[in-house]
Chains A and B, each alone.
Chain A
Amino acid sequence: MGINPDLVGRIYPAGESYLVGREKIREFAAATKAANRAHYDVQAARELGYSDVVAPPTFAIIIAQRADAQLISDPASGIDFSRVVHADQRFTHHRPIVAGDELLAELYVDQIREMGAGAMITTRAEITTAAGEKIATTVSSLLVRAED
């Protein structure tokens, strides 16, 4: 089964909110080998004007990939996760994510392009606070490789 072209334009509403934890930011920063103190040290983050530790610039991928999971696990999508290769990624930050933020992600299927026997699917997650403040926009392109 190939990827379903009717997915373009589909919107997956935000699921449960994601509460950004201080230890999660520290764990993610350590896992990406980040050295900047503002990811670990509350005092260092406060000196930069933040209320708590600041997430690394790619932290929002956690929230974006949770939103993407809705699409990938949707039986109507026809996407085989084991054949997915990450092709492109972009983060636009409207303001930095800090510990304590409670975030929602609405997922938009923006584009599907056939690539030989496979397909490239572009999704966009609009990340906001529960109050509706815009935090980040992430755009991901996934190449779904065809079965040989």
Chain B
Amino acid sequence: MIEFESLEKGQVIGSHTVQVNRADLVRYAGASGDFNPIHWNERFAKEVELPSVIAHGMFTMGSVIDLVSQWVGNPGAIIDYQTRFTKPVVVEDPEGSNPSEHEGTTISVEGKVGALDAEARTARIDLAVSADGAKVLLKCQAVVQL
């Protein structure tokens, strides 16, 4: 278990990468019930003026929080989690590749202690999340009850 007293503002809790390919988006669509075709049909995505198929914002938000769950040990300790979706994560489907095996797009996440509340014994973990060298989530913050 993480001891509240051991934490300092600015401390890095860890970093992680998540790979996402087209098959991952189909799987997330099925698991979440979000079947918006911009997340699995390239023709449709382009017709609505997107660069290509894009990941569900909720896939990105959902996949990067495991860093915090693993750090704190108890995912139920995450009492608040928010973000702003700033830039779509484009997931390409290169010719000749198997969409289930292609490495896909890399999402990188690093977590830092952003704020500590000694009275409530909570830590705010700020997540820096990027893909293809650009920030894709802004104000991505999880509050953990310790």
> Which A residues fall within an 8 A CB radius of B?
24, 27-28, 30-36, 38-39, 48, 50, 54, 56-58, 61-62, 65-66, 81-93, 95-96, 148
B-side contacts of A62, CB under 8 Å: 32-33
Question: Which of B69, B82, B85 is in CB contact (< 8 Å) with A86?
Answer: B85
Q: Is the CB of A35 within 8 A of B66?
A: yes
Bound: A62/B30 CA distance, A: 11
Query: Separation in Å of the A77 CB from the closest CB of chain B?
Result: 16
Query: Separation in Å of the B129 CB from the closest CB of chain A?
Result: 13
- The DSSP consensus for interface residues of chain A is mixed
Query: Separation in Å of the B27 CB from the closest CB of chain A?
Result: 5
A-side contacts of B33, CB under 8 Å: 62, 65-66
A-side contacts of B37, CB under 8 Å: 82
Given contacts A31-B31, A84-B36, 20 further A-B contacts (CB under 8 A): A27-B31, A31-B27, A31-B59, A31-B62, A33-B24, A36-B70, A36-B75, A39-B75, A56-B65, A56-B75, A57-B69, A58-B61, A61-B34, A65-B34, A66-B33, A82-B44, A87-B84, A89-B61, A92-B79, A93-B79
Query: Separation in Å of the A55 CB from the closest CB of chain B?
Result: 8
Q: Is the CB of A89 within 8 A of B69?
A: no
Q: Is the CB of A32 within 8 A of B66?
A: yes
